[in-house]
Structure 1
């Protein structure tokens, strides 16, 4: 028989069975997997096939890895910093910054990341990490960084405001003319995203000097001075800027003017991709036969398939409009110059021109000539905000721009916001 009180004495001992087991190799795997998922999510948020369900799954998996690293405390942060040292990519920066911002109270950004990574290119990942903090921690940190003297901290804080659709209020106007050009450009972009029509005049003053000003001005309702500045003059400008311009220009000018710009883009090999993207945004049924013809060109086929679906609502995979055999990926300097474009290209369907032509022949009568269409319906009929459940992320991107151009004083709907599962299905927020 055990000694009296033995069982009770054991019960009074501190419980150790539920303490985290700090195995460095496991923590390193958590850090590496979290970085991979963060990077994958960044691409999937503008993906041609990914839907809310896919984002919900990816975000939940990322949250699990981050929770394990947070649970490990300083050891989790050390694992994230080791992964960052080995591979300093955007995903690794986001994970390390998320752990550091949550674990350390200091406001100075230099405390949280190695000095070699404190460059403007890291700001989006740092801003994304800031946006992942608990709400009580976000506000004070945002205010401290927006009011600070460190341009990178201000840039990251503006990025977090964009992700959260959080309006900095009177802090935003002075930042439009910040001495650091990347900060001023991000402030201008944020003003457009937030529908800050009160800042329209200073943004118009920046049309010729700030690459973000034309897009912001158009989102704020300007239709005279800004549209001519939307398309970059340099065919070799960053693909991200080209895509945004090609998606937005047809929504800001009359169809005849948009068609003329599309024809001009077709005249240069480096901008033909953007001509196809712009044709999809224009949405005229008269362009569908031309888009089917572009499906014969391996460089343009998948972009043409996406544009065809954007206008008609055709689902190339479920509707069996894909090729039976896929060509080899061609060398594409435009897509290869941008991670997002390469991701879109690699995840899009290869359309079959004959199948798409036969599909269209049965439905052409339902597409009114001369009227802009989006996903098989007149563009003006789509409700706001867009329903996320059954739309792809690239479709939600198009819907968000359509809705934003109708309501210039309202924030741009955020198709990249985290996915939430509620009683009525998937939502954003």
Structure 2
């Protein structure tokens, strides 16, 4: 008679699963990245033509195969470094450092969206609607960017605010439905992704809405120069003011979660919503506030895409998969603001360096995607990492 009760207690709750994933240390995250890079090295060697040729006569000349493996892996990861951090082959420091600015440019929307997903994680919620929130934010910011004629500083500020508000509203819908009806935010945000995509696609094909005048293509007009993030280091680099905005957003999220009363309520609800209710916290209101802020941060990623990277007009693919990559960034960063910032820079390096690997060494760009996916696997399965490296089990227990 007591067996069902025991099974019920043993069954992990949704919040306990989130806390288990987030409770890993920085070392676990670093080991997860290391394992992913090792698996990437195996795939690089396995797909290299020279390695395949040398392996045909391995037993007669084994060192040729080993040398080919080393050359392929070292060449690929060297190209990754030179394409994302510093290129020693370019003359002068100003030219050599350009890959790092490309990494930070790719990282800007990843960090913003990652912060939004991480904040929802801290409240025990899964914001899977990054794509929809980015699309709505991009549509709002883009419409202001190419429609209105305002002074430079005011126009940019107006466009940014419009995009952030659009993302907040789209995220807030999921929070409101969860608070009022109990609808699960995963299902709601996934459905809202489709709604946003088809809505923006329709507007991009509608004259007078988002479609460029006189064009049959589903694309907006170019953004006005007064509504574009200015370059930080001149026109020779793509890094723009949006990166500084993301740094400020990271500081703001850190302060919100670690120093503010609202952040305290966020953390309490994320740990145990039932205990939070007993303590007098209005849990439903916390869900709404969390999704509003989460949607605003993810919307900032869409704003960065429209006003910083794609200023010549955009289509329905403006999200570029960032909404889903942000989940990986939030997991790797353990939902800590500065951890998310570092994870965003790392994935920005993967994006920037992946093209260099493909161009210089002929490594398929899909290898980088595999490495990113394996990182998620190891982050979500800390016992697997502990088993590979024979690490001791954590002494602390996660409350169920």
TM range (shorter): under 0.3
Structure having the higher Rg = 1
Point out which structure has higher relative CO (alpha carbons under 8 A, 6+ apart): 2
Give the number of the structure whose residues are more often helix, by fraction. 2
